[in-house]
Structure 1
Amino acid sequence: MKRLALWQDKCMDGQLLPLGLWQLFRLRQLDGEALLRGTGLFATDLQHPGLRVSPRQLCALLSNARKLWPGDDLAFLLGQHWLPSQSGALTNGLLCAPDLERALSFWGRYHWLSQPWLRPTRWHQDDHSHWQLQLDLGLQTHHQFLLELALSTLTATAKRLSPQPLHFHIQLPYPAPAHPHHYWKYLGPEVQFGAAMTRISLPRVELQRPLPGADLAGFQLAWRQCRQRLQAEPWQRGLPAAVLARLERPQHQGDALPQVAKDLATSPATLKRRLKAFGLAFQPLQDQARLGQALYLLSIQGAANADVARQLQFADGGNFRRSFKRWTGLLPSQFSRLT
Structure 2
Amino acid sequence: MRLNTAIGDDLSSADRPTNILCGLMQFAAERGTDCNAWFAGTRLQPEEISNPDTRISYRQASTVIRRALAALAVEDLGLVLGGRQNLGNFGLLGLAMKTAPDFGEAVRVGLAYQRNSGALMDITLAEQGDGCVAAVASAPEEARDLQPFLCEELFSSVLQLVRELVGPGFCPQRLELGYKAPHHAQRYRDVFGCEVRFDQPRHALVIDRRWLELPFTSYNPVTSNQVMTLCRMQMDARPACGETTAALESHLRTRLRENPQMAEMAAALHLSERTLRRQLAEEGTSFSAIHDRVRTKRAMELLRDPSLSIVAIGGRLGFNDAREFRRAFKRWTGRAPSQARRSGD
TM-score range relative to shorter protein: 0.5 to 0.7
Question: Counterpart of 1:226?
Answer: 231
Question: Counterpart of 2:161?
Answer: 157
Q: Contact between 1:7 and 1:137, CA under 8 Å: does it hold in 2?
A: no
Question: Counterpart of 2:150?
Answer: 146
SS in 2 for 1:202: strand
Is 1:208 matched up with 2:210? no
Residues 1:85 and 1:43: Cα distance change in structure 2 (over 3 Å) = farther
Question: Counterpart of 1:128?
Answer: 132
Percent identity over the alignment?
22
Is 1:217 matched up with 2:218? no
- Greater Rg by CA: 2
Deviations 1:118-146 (A, max 9, x none): 22221224521122211148433312211
Residues 1:22 and 1:192: Cα distance change in structure 2 (over 3 Å) = same
Q: Contact between 1:38 and 1:60, CA under 8 Å: does it hold in 2?
A: no
Is 1:171 matched up with 2:176? yes
Residues 1:202 and 1:217: Cα distance change in structure 2 (over 3 Å) = farther
Is 1:24 matched up with 2:27? yes
Q: Contact between 1:171 and 1:191, CA under 8 Å: does it hold in 2?
A: yes
In 2, distance between residues paired with 1:68 and 1:162? 37
Residues 1:160 and 1:88: Cα distance change in structure 2 (over 3 Å) = closer
- Candidates 12, 37, 41, aligned match of 2:16: 12
Q: How many residues align?
A: 233
Deviations 1:136-181 (A, max 9, x none): 4843331221122111121111112222522311111122223312
Question: Counterpart of 1:44?
Answer: 47
Output the amino acid matched with 1:24.
F
In 1, distance between residues paired with 2:101 and 2:134? 20
TM-score (norm 2): 0.61
Residues 1:192 and 1:216: Cα distance change in structure 2 (over 3 Å) = farther
Shift of 1:116: 4.3
Shift of 1:58: 0.7
SS in 2 for 1:234: coil
Q: Contact between 2:14 and 2:240, CA under 8 Å: does it hold in 1?
A: no
Residues 1:214 and 1:73: Cα distance change in structure 2 (over 3 Å) = farther
Question: Counterpart of 2:66?
Answer: 63
Question: Counterpart of 2:196?
Answer: 191
SS in 2 for 1:191: strand
Query: Structure 2: 5+ residue runs without aligned partners?
Result: 1-7, 242-345
Q: Contact between 2:136 and 2:202, CA under 8 Å: does it hold in 1?
A: yes
SS in 2 for 1:53: coil
Q: Contact between 1:117 and 1:137, CA under 8 Å: does it hold in 2?
A: no
Question: Counterpart of 1:337?
Answer: none
In 1, distance between residues paired with 2:239 and 2:43? 22
Q: Contact between 1:161 and 1:213, CA under 8 Å: does it hold in 2?
A: no
Name the Cα RMSD after superposition.
2.6
Output the amino acid matched with 1:112.
R
TM-score (norm 1): 0.62
Ranges of 4+ aligned residues in structure 1 off by more than 4 Å: none
In 2, distance between residues paired with 1:55 and 1:164? 33
In 2, distance between residues paired with 1:71 and 1:116? 21
Residues 1:185 and 1:215: Cα distance change in structure 2 (over 3 Å) = farther
In 2, distance between residues paired with 1:51 and 1:85? 19
SS in 1 for 2:175: strand
Query: Structure 1: 5+ residue runs without aligned partners?
Result: 237-339
Is 1:93 matched up with 2:96? yes
Q: Contact between 2:75 and 2:184, CA under 8 Å: does it hold in 1?
A: no
